[in-house]
Structure 1
Amino acid sequence: MTQPQSPSALPGPALRPVRVGLVGAGPWARAMHARMLAAGPETELAAVWARRPEAAEEVAQQYGARAAASFEELLDLCDAVAFAVPPAVQAELAVHAAKAGRPMLLEKPLGADLASARRVAEAVAEHGVMTQLVLSKRYHPVTREFLRRAQDATVVGARSCYLHGAFLGGDFATPWRLEQGALLDLGPHLIDLLDAAVGPIATIRSSGDSRRWIELTCEHANGAISQASLSGAVHLSRARTRVELFGPGEELVYDTAELDHEECWPVLRREFAQAVRTGRGNGIDAGRGLRLQELIAMAAG
């Protein structure tokens, strides 16, 4: 396996795009990863590999990329790897990518369970590779302003929800989501926001059924209490994500109802390319993914 030349080491007045290999060719790979990486200018979609060669070929052709015949060939064709596959598949292949020294754009959750997530984080640490986690809301300017304001607030309690109906049918009613439910799929997003906005979560417990509706109660290290409602199986006209922070000051509210999620992708792409070039990430990485998976495992009991 060849080691690609660092993008920052190339001659010329302008840096060439980071060549990213995409693992996966399913609905999320097509809707977000492929088109985001191909849009550039910071990155280019160099290659696509999937378990279904015809699906990989279709995505690759659309963006002028190569369809890799194997995961090993994909690694040879790229500077960095992006994953858009089920958690169990990501956890297995990410360990191999880390051993090959490839920076990675990882999906949440990091793995299908805590043990596999820990193996990914350990491989990343052992081989010193840069990682970035696709907690998509974290890349929106409105989210970042909310978290900035939350740092200056005294919070004693919080309420939050992440609700949609994607599990009821359609492209995202995938086997792992239907089996694991909202805690593993939506939980990383909402738990991440509560942990960042209110303060580090010390304990978390749950009630309900993750495949229908699950309630989380979090005790934070600073003494605050937060609650989170999660479901992917309720009929709504659009997904609903809302966080309300309460304390002695004014209520602070984060609501995605009016957000244009398309604003997330250029930020994510730019920060990933910069991190690949410099080897310095933004902190939303495999370590963060493991922290969230530990909290999910705690909630699951």
Structure 2
Amino acid sequence: MRFGLLGTGPWARNTQGPALIDHPDAELVGVWGRRPEAAAELANDLGTAAFADVDELLAGCDAVAVALPPHVQPELAVRAAGAGCHLLLDKPVASEPADARRLVAAVEEAGVASVVFFTLRFAPQPAEWIAAQQEVGGWLTARAQWLSAVLGGKQSAYSASPWRRERGALWDVGPHVLSLLLPVLGDVTDTDRIAAVRGPGDTVNLLLPHVTGAVSTVTLSLTVPPEAAVVEAELRGPAGAVRLPERDRGVAPLAFGRAIDALLEAARSGEPHPCDVRFGARVTELLAVAEERAGKGS
């Protein structure tokens, strides 16, 4: 499958680009970015071509991998779908529910396949853990924390990200946590019962009622000190208590390769992947409700 890469930031450089280059069933046709000089530099490093015209790149591709901020991604993804390209999208698929719904409509109209890259759903150990807990079922409650120091003093390639600074942990790491909880506990259908309370920095605490009757509590932050950083989740029910395996920080390129596999299979079979654009849009809708309940941060 011939891929175009949209975006030139650290995610495109460190994860998506290398995974596309290494995948035996993918060909990286070229790179487009909002800054032509950055696209030229990344394309040179990846051994592919830089495109100044995004529509020219789309015309030569079967699919696109998108590494753009959530307020930029929908417009480009809609154009790619209209050009007949399958979509390998980043989370969150949009920063506004209306844009997410517009993207879903474009995918359905074009009849293209879509996969949204939630790291926990494609990294081997977390993916296996999620599938196992789905099989067990009967969970009564869950507790999840994703506390990061990306904006809390730790030097990171993502520390200067304008959209992360503006939208905070709810929109950056919140999608990862929802991608874990929703397949195990079920959707949050009664959004009137969602509760959200802000804490220090960009910290936000959520209470989510799931359709199965289970209730989950979630704490998210990008602004904790490095000493307080943690990624953890725990489920409790008749089967006892189970904890998410410790996160492997170096697994992203491998996980993205598995997302490429998923897109290839969805395009071949015509069967939607569980992490398709519709699931991505649902995550965006829930984040928007939580943000409204939490109010503006400090």
Give the distance between the partners of 2:118 and 2:54, measured in 1 at CA. 24
Match of 1:172 among 130, 136, 158: 158
2:287 aligned residue: 296
Identity of aligned residues (%): 37
Rate the CA distance shift 1:258–1:128 in 2: closer, same or farther, 3 A.
closer
Say whether 1:144 aligns with 2:127. Answer: yes
Alpha-carbon distance in structure 1 between the residues aligned to 2:251 and 2:83: 33
Partner residue of 1:154 out of 115, 121, 138: 138
**What's the C-alpha RMSD, in Å, of the aligned pairs?**
1.9
Q: Deviations over 1:47-102 (max 9, x none)?
A: 10001111111111122211112111110221111110111111111111111111
Select 2:173's aligned residue among 179, 183, 186: 186
Residues 1:214 and 2:204 are matched in the alignment? yes
Q: Pairwise mapping of residues 118-267 of structure 1 onto structure 2 (< 5 A)? A: 118-151=101-134, 152-168=136-152, 170-173=156-159, 174-202=161-189, 203=191, 204-208=194-198, 212-236=202-226, 240-258=230-248, 260-262=250-252, 263-267=254-258
**C-alpha contact (below 8 Å) 2:21/2:46 kept by paired residues:** yes
Show CA shifts across 1:234-293 (max 9, x none).
Answer: 122696321101122220111334565244233222222333344434221110001111
Unaligned runs of 5+ in 1: 1-17
Query: For the Cα contact (< 8 Å) 2:93–2:277, is it kept in 1?
Result: yes
Q: For each residue in 1:2-50, what CA deviation from the matched residue of structure 2 results, as whole angstroms up to 9, or x when unmatched?
A: xxxxxxxxxxxxxxxx110001111111011111111121112111000
Q: Deviations over 1:124-175 (max 9, x none)?
A: 1122111110111101222222222212132111111111111245431311
In the superposition, relative to structure 1, how do residues 232 and 291 fare at CA in structure 2: closer, same or farther (>3 Å)? same
Cα distance in 2, alignment partners of residues 53 and 225 from structure 1 = 47
CA drift at 1:117: 1.2
- The verdict on how the C-alpha distance between 1:56 and 1:163 changes in structure 2, with shifts beyond 3 A counting, is same
Q: State whether residues 59 and 83 of structure 2, in contact with CA within 8 Å, keep that contact through their aligned partners in structure 1.
A: no
Checking the alignment, whether the CA contact within 8 Å between 2:112 and 2:267 is kept in structure 1 is: no
Query: How many pairs are equivalent?
Result: 284
Query: Which letter maps to 1:240?
Result: V
Q: In structure 2, how many angstroms separate the alpha carbons of the residues matched to 1:92 and 1:210? A: 33
Alpha-carbon distance in 2 for matches of 1:26, 1:259: 18
Contact 2:95 2:284 in 1 (8 A): no
User: Is the alpha carbon distance of 1:220 and 1:105 closer, same or farther for their aligned partners in structure 2, counting shifts above 3 Å?
Assistant: same
Shift in CA distance, 178/209, structure 1 to aligned 2, threshold 3 Å: farther
Moved more, 247-256 or 82-91: 247-256
User: What residue is the counterpart of 1:282 in the other structure?
Assistant: 273
Flag the 1:139–1:210 CA change in 2: closer, same or farther, 3 A: farther
Quote the residue 2:296 is aligned against.
none
Q: Could you tell me how far apart the structure 1 residues matched to 2:228 and 2:32 are?
A: 32
For 2:149 and 2:157, locate their aligned partners in 1 and report how far apart those are by CA, in whole Å.
Answer: 12
